[in-house]
């Protein structure tokens, strides 16, 4: 016979209502008592009936998480970290993929709204006005995007992009390209603003051109290789690592050496960036930290639709093998700002 809430109450020496609160409203239970109840429940193998609890508390203890492209290696570390954080808080996560399609993204929010206590929108492509309207259906936390009036968790890609440009200029590159990502991407706009700002600061010293929009995939990078060669860039900062890896492949097919002829920098620091040859210089994004922070923010502020809480996480330039001296060959090897070099 399965263990019941009465069995847990009897073994813990508390009332049934206390056991119920320990699971459904832990903040109302003394910490020592709650620990005792949870340990007893674990020992007896008791699991609360989520459906019944939802009827009583109005809480499903489920969270929706919508990503732009689940096949992109950028997202799995964020998803795994969010799932682990949610489990520690006695929540479960439903993951959905919009496949970079704004119509699908909106449909998914409508579909999940009544089944979860809140939704994490990761790298959404929807317009701000649409996201704001959707926030009236479900508590939202936006990740990798800032939407006025909504809580958000962002990674400081602008800082990372500036560090990447500084690194390339320090190596002697004077004609640098930015391989842009998809339309509707907040991250793409932030990187482009940072790159443009860097070029304005160095007027006459360095020329920075933009190629895009492009598909944020390896194929997108491969397709851009001819444009990079034609433009005469000696260094390229790509919207993400997948595009950078694809660009290296495309340049190789054209007989262009990396970093001998063209230096390439990515953004994200996915696992593949350490495995590809040459190993990719990239801007590391704290994706796991973003996943944890998003869950924490939703559970803290989910009921307050007026909150504008924001978390900004630092990025870090990681120097590997895909960047080298510019064609002048007069770069100071030590002129690399304060990035971390990886052996």
DSSP string, 188-225: HHHHHHHHHHHHHHTTTT-EEEEE----SSHHHHHHHH
The residue ranking higher by pLDDT, 328 or 133, is: 133
Instruction: Note the pLDDT of residue 22.
Output: 82
Number of H helices, E strands in the chain: 13, 13
Decide if 293 contacts 153 (C-beta within 8 A).
Answer: yes
Instruction: Note the pLDDT of residue 113.
Output: 93
User: Tell me, what DSSP letter sits at residue 26?
Assistant: G
Instruction: Note the pLDDT of residue 58.
Output: 58
Instruction: Note the pLDDT of residue 333.
Output: 39
Instruction: Note the pLDDT of residue 301.
Output: 74
Residue 198: is its pLDDT beyond 50?
Answer: yes
Which residues fall within 8 angstroms of residue 223, CB to CB, at 6 or more apart? 214, 215, 246, 250
The residue ranking higher by pLDDT, 52 or 209, is: 209
| Unique residue bearing structure tokens 């010293």 | 205
How many other C-beta atoms can be found within 10 angstroms of the C-beta atom of residue 213? 16
Report the predicted TM-score, pTM, of the whole model to 2 decimal places: 0.79
Write the pLDDT tens digit of every residue in 140-163: 999 999 999 899 999 999 999 999
Average pLDDT over residues 216-241: 97
Q: Is 246 helix (H, G, I), strand (E, B) or coil?
A: helix
Average pLDDT over residues 175-204: 90
**Domains 62-155+287-313 and 157-285+316-341 alike in fold:** yes
- Residue-averaged pLDDT of the chain: 89
CATH class of segment(s) 5-57: mainly alpha
Residue 203: is its pLDDT beyond 70?
Answer: yes
Write the pLDDT tens digit of every residue in 22-51: 876 676 888 899 889 988 988 898 877 665
List strands edge to edge, sheet with 62-67: 92-97, 62-67, 119-122, 140-143, 152-155, 310-313
- CA distance linking residue 36 with residue 30, whole number of Å: 10
Query: How many CA atoms, within 13 angstroms, populate the side-chain half-sphere of residue 75?
Result: 20
- CA distance linking residue 7 with residue 318, whole number of Å: 55
Residue 339: is its pLDDT beyond 50?
Answer: yes
Residue 75: is its pLDDT beyond 90?
Answer: yes
**The two three-digit tokens of residue 143, written as one number:** 């990740």
**pLDDT band per the 50, 70, 90 thresholds, residue 334:** very low
Q: What residue spans define the domains of the chain?
A: 5-57, 62-155+287-313, 157-285+316-341
Average pLDDT over residues 119-137: 94
Decide if 150 contacts 131 (C-beta within 8 A).
Answer: yes
Second-level CATH architecture of 62-155+287-313: 3-Layer(aba) Sandwich (3.40)
Q: Which fold has domain 157-285+316-341?
A: Rossmann fold (3.40.50)
């Amino acid at each position: 016979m399965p263990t019941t809430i009465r069995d847990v109450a009897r073994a813990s020496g508390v009332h049934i209502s206390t056991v119920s609160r320990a699971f459904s409203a832990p903040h109302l239970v003394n910490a020592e008592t709650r620990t005792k109840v949870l340990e007893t429940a674990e020992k007896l193998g008791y699991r609360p009936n989520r459906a019944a609890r939802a009827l009583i508390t109005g809480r499903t203890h489920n969270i929706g998480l919508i990503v732009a492209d689940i096949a992109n290696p950028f997202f799995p570390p964020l998803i795994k970290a969010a799932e682990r954080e949610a489990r520690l808080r006695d929540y479960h996560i439903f993951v959905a993929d919009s496949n970079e399609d704004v119509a699908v993204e909106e449909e998914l929010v409508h579909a999940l709204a009544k089944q979860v206590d809140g939704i994490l929108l990761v790298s959404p492509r929807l317009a701000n006005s649409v996201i704001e309207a959707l926030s009236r259906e479900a508590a939202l936390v936006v990740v990798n995007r800032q939407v006025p009036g909504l809580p958000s968790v962002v990674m400081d890609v602008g800082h990372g992009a500036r560090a990447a440009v500084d690194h390339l200029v320090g190596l002697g590159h004077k004609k640098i390209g930015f391989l842009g990502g998809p339309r509707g991407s907040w991250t793409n706009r932030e990187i482009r603003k940072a790159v443009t700002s860097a070029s304005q600061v160095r007027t006459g010293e360095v020329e920075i051109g933009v190629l895009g929009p492009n598909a944020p995939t390896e194929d997108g990078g491969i397709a851009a290789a001819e444009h990079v060669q034609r433009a005469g860039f000696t260094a390229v900062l790509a919207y993400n690592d997948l595009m950078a890896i694809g660009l290296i492949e495309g340049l190789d097919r054209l007989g262009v050496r990396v970093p001998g002829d063209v230096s390439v920098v990515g953004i994200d620091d996915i696992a593949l960036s350490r495995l590809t040859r040459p190993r990719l210089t990239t801007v590391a994004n704290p994706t796991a930290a973003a996943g944890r922070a998003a869950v924490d923010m939703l559970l803290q502020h989910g009921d307050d639709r007026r909150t504008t809480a924001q978390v900004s996480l630092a990025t870090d330039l990681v120097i590997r093998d895909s960047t080298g001296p510019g064609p002048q060959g007069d770069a100071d090897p030590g002129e690399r700002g304060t990035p971390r070099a990886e052996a």
